A = this chain, B = another copy of it.
Amino acid sequence: MPSANQHIAIAGAGLVGSLLSIYLAKRGHNVSVFERRPDMRQATTDRGRSINLALSNRGLRALEEVGLAEELKKVAIPMHGRTMHDRQGQLTFQPYGKEGQYINSVSRSNLNIVLMNKAEALGVKFYFNHRIASVDFETTTLLLQNQESKIESHKFNAIIGADGAFSAVRGSMQITDRFDYEQNYIAHGYKELHIPAGATGNFQLEKNSLHIWPRESFMLIALPNPDGSFTGTLFFPFEGKQSFDSITTKTEAEFFLKEIFPDAFALMENPAESFMSSPASSLVTVKCFPWTKNKTLLIGDAAHAIVPFYGQGMNAGFEDCRLLNEWLEKTMEWNEIFSEFQRQRKPDTDAIADLALHNFIEMRDLVGDSKFLLRKKIEARFNQHFPEKWIPLYTMVTFSDDIRYSRALAIGQKQKKIMDEVMQTPNIETTWEQLDFEAIVSKL
Among residues of B, the one whose C-beta sits closest to the C-beta of A171 is: B175
Instruction: List, in ascending order, chain B residues with CB within 8 A of A238's CB.
Output: 178
Identify A177's interface contact among B180, B182, B282, CB under 8 A: B282
Q: Are B182 and A184 in contact (CB under 8 A)?
A: yes
Interface residue SS majority, chain A = strand
Identify A178's interface contact among B177, B179, B182, B185, CB under 8 A: B185
Instruction: List, in ascending order, chain B residues with CB within 8 A of A177's CB.
Output: 185, 282
Query: For the complex, is A183 an interface residue (Cβ under 8 Å from B)?
Result: yes
Query: For the complex, is A255 an interface residue (Cβ under 8 Å from B)?
Result: no
How would residues 162 to 189 of chain A score, 1 for a CB under 8 Å from any chain B CB and 0 otherwise?
0000000000000001111111110000
Q: In the complex, how many angstroms separate the beta carbon of A157 from the nearest chain B beta carbon?
A: 26
Q: Are A182 and B183 in contact (CB under 8 A)?
A: yes
Please report the C-alpha to C-alpha distance between residue A184 and residue B178 in the assembled complex, in whole angstroms.
8
How many A residues have CB within 8 A of the partner chain? 11
Instruction: List, in ascending order, chain B residues with CB within 8 A of A184's CB.
Output: 180, 182
Identify A282's interface contact among B178, B181, B182, CB under 8 A: B178
Q: In the complex, how many angstroms separate the beta carbon of A240 from the nearest chain B beta carbon?
A: 14
Q: In the complex, how many angstroms separate the beta carbon of A41 from the nearest chain B beta carbon?
A: 29
If A177-B282, A282-B177 touch, whether A182 touches B185 (CB-CB below 8 Å) is: no
Q: Are A183 and B181 in contact (CB under 8 A)?
A: yes
Instruction: List, in ascending order, chain B residues with CB within 8 A of A179's CB.
Output: 183, 185
Among residues of B, the one whose C-beta sits closest to the C-beta of A279 is: B177
Please report the C-alpha to C-alpha distance between residue A431 and residue B184 in the assembled complex, in whole angstroms.
50
Please report the C-alpha to C-alpha distance between residue A297 and residue B238 in the assembled complex, in whole angstroms.
22
Q: In the complex, how many angstroms separate the beta carbon of A293 from the nearest chain B beta carbon?
A: 14
Q: Are B181 and A181 in contact (CB under 8 A)?
A: yes
Q: Are B183 and A183 in contact (CB under 8 A)?
A: no
Q: Which of A66-82 contact B (CB under 8 A)?
A: none
Please report the C-alpha to C-alpha distance between residue A265 and residue B406 in the assembled complex, in whole angstroms.
46
Q: Are A181 and B182 in contact (CB under 8 A)?
A: yes
Please report the C-alpha to C-alpha distance between residue A237 and residue B178 in the assembled complex, in whole angstroms.
12
Instruction: List, in ascending order, chain B residues with CB within 8 A of A182's CB.
Output: 181-184
Q: In the complex, how many angstroms separate the beta carbon of A385 from the nearest chain B beta carbon?
A: 42
Q: Which of A176-215 contact B (CB under 8 A)?
A: 177-185
Please report the C-alpha to C-alpha distance between residue A429 and residue B88 in the assembled complex, in whole angstroms.
68
Q: In the complex, how many angstroms separate the beta carbon of A160 from the nearest chain B beta carbon?
A: 23
Please report the C-alpha to C-alpha distance between residue A89 and residue B266 in the assembled complex, in whole angstroms.
82
| Sample of 14 more A-B contacts, CB < 8 Å, known A178-B238, A180-B184 | A177-B185, A177-B282, A178-B185, A178-B282, A179-B183, A179-B185, A180-B183, A180-B185, A181-B181, A181-B182, A181-B183, A182-B182, A182-B183, A182-B184
In the assembled complex, 16 residue pairs joining A and B whose CB atoms fall closer than 8 Å, in A order, are A177-B185, A177-B282, A178-B185, A178-B238, A178-B282, A179-B183, A179-B185, A180-B183, A180-B184, A180-B185, A181-B181, A181-B182, A181-B183, A182-B182, A182-B183, A182-B184
